Structure 1
Amino acid sequence: MFKFDLTQQFQNILKLVPQPRKKSGFKVALVCIAVALILTLDHYLGDYRFILTLLHSMELKELNAIFSTLMLDHTDAQLHQLLYWAASIILFYFVSPILLVVFILKERLTEYGFAMHFSWDSYKPYLIMLIIMVPVIAYFSGTQSFLANYPFYTVERAEQLYPNFVIWQFFYLLQFIALEFLFRGFLLHGTKAKFGFYAIFVMMIPYCMIHFGKPLAETIGAIVAGIVLGIMSLKTRSIWPGVMLHYGVAIMMDLLVLYRKGIIL
């Protein structure tokens, strides 16, 4: 008979990560401060409305007029707003920590989950989880909160998915890569030498908090997702299976919501 020993499984996971070391204080402090600063800067500078207010207060009239036209008055203003948001995440979540790893910490990016593993064993658990998520996504895609929030790019009934929705999905994928690298790469692998397995829970807290303002079910789900994706990142030493799972869930949600709204058949 199949027997699942939770304690034994937990012990097996603990063996996957290094034991905490006393001489890793500087690195952990740098990583944590950097993540706090990154999240703060992205929260403000990634909001086009903050930039409009800033340009206005600095009396940069020409720049303000150009930016205002792109974000508010252009026929593709909605797409421009989303691309600006995604570009901010890519800059702060992805480019900034890479520069810190390479030039300040002087370490390899592969030590922060950037390695690609193409073995079936690395991706099999993620594919299973993605399949398990299908009925969950199907259910929540019909709830009012998800119908009101997704997809981020609002497709009108008479509008074609190409080019704007397709362009958005490409940048949506890029921001998921940046998201996974910051949390399951830089923060998780940057603190595991100090906290060991419990670095997952350090990472999970800010990851949950960036979901504030989204549907309640999604925000609570971020706690579970943060832990599960953290475990898998430590096990595979790679963020890429997590990117696949994360974007897979996102694109399924978007398409199912569009289907329920009658945009696609």
Structure 2
Amino acid sequence: MPASPDKSGERRHYWRQPARGISFDAAVIMLAATVLIILFHENGSSLFFRRHFAPLVRNWPLHDLYPAIYWFGCSLLMLGLLPYLLGRWVLGFRPAELGVGLGDWRFGLKAVAVLYLLFLPVLVATSYLPQFQTKYPLFAAATLGGGRLLVYELAYAVYFLGWEFVFRGFLLFGLKPTLGLQAVFVQTIPFAILHFGKAEVETLAAVGAGVILGFLALRARSFWYGWLLHSLIAVSNDLLAM
């Protein structure tokens, strides 16, 4: 028996209701970030490189570092370049609206210096923990000499360009017009989850770090200072744990 016009109209009204409060930009940003993070996790890892490409470069110079370089390069591409192009050319954000400009560089550099000095004692303390000494650097080949450590740490800094941009650029600045300051906490969730598998204390610390880096990016109006701070901490952690 066909539905009455009144009931049919009620059903249409019901199904349209959930879409009324949805921001198209915010939905695209969250879904795109989720897909890109999955693709990076599945196809951008050093394990993926070892499975599919390692035999091809076995006789190349510094071949033992290529899994790391592949991983770090995929971070730049999948978490940095692709979300930037999506935000810039599909969603129409200006670079500064994605946190790519220098922003308040005086505040940013001062904040990086202060936060690094505050965090340095923690790095020194954790460097004595066995789980850190056996974990870092992430690739033992970086410690074999022949310039490997320098190449590795420079590539590591490139890795954090993509890592920081997807969280403190694309997600944070992209969601801020819709979510306001709540965007800081939204980007912290996937950031902390991607620390699964590391030492428990490091994974828990990632929650606080995500919030601090988020507010730093908003105050400085740029993701660059979070990238600088994160890179300094990561490289220092490697050197202290060796």
Bigger CA radius of gyration:
2
Alpha-carbon distance in structure 2 between the residues aligned to 1:139 and 1:179: 25
Alpha-carbon distance in structure 1 between the residues aligned to 2:29 and 2:134: 36
2:43 is matched with 45
Q: Mark the runs of 5 or more structure 1 residues left unpaired by the alignment.
A: 1-21, 54-63, 259-265
Q: CA deviation at 1:143?
A: 0.4
Q: CA deviation at 1:171?
A: 1.1
1:171 aligns with 2:169: no
Decide whether aligned partners of structure 1 residues 119 and 46 sit closer, same or farther in structure 2, where only a CA change above 3 A counts.
Answer: closer
Residue in structure 1 matching 2:109, options 113, 120, 123: 123
1:194 is matched with 178
Contact in 2 for aligned 1:42/1:88 (Cα 8 Å): yes
Q: CA deviation at 1:24?
A: 6.9
2:223 is matched with 239
1:180 aligns with 2:164: yes
Q: Compute the TM-score of the two structures, normalised by the length of structure 2.
A: 0.85
Amino acid across the alignment from 1:82: A
Decide whether aligned partners of structure 1 residues 26 and 117 sit closer, same or farther in structure 2, where only a CA change above 3 A counts.
Answer: closer
Alpha-carbon distance in structure 1 between the residues aligned to 2:109 and 2:166: 20
Q: Show CA shifts across 1:38-84 (max 9, x none).
A: 0110011113544676xxxxxxxxxx5xx231466767443011011
Q: CA deviation at 1:85?
A: 0.6
Structure 2 counterparts to residues 63-74 of structure 1, below 5 A? 67-70=53-56
Decide whether aligned partners of structure 1 residues 23 and 234 sit closer, same or farther in structure 2, where only a CA change above 3 A counts.
Answer: farther
Instruction: Using the aligned pairs only, state the percent identity.
Output: 30
1:17 is matched with none
SS at match of 2:138: coil
SS at match of 2:180: helix
Contact in 2 for aligned 1:150/1:254 (Cα 8 Å): yes
Alpha-carbon distance in structure 2 between the residues aligned to 1:51 and 1:153: 14
Q: Compute the TM-score of the two structures, normalised by the length of structure 1.
A: 0.78
Contact in 1 for aligned 2:65/2:142 (Cα 8 Å): no
- CA RMSD for the aligned pairs? 2.2
Alpha-carbon distance in structure 2 between the residues aligned to 1:243 and 1:48: 22
Q: Mark the runs of 5 or more structure 2 residues left unpaired by the alignment.
A: 1-19
Count of aligned residue pairs for this structure pair? 223
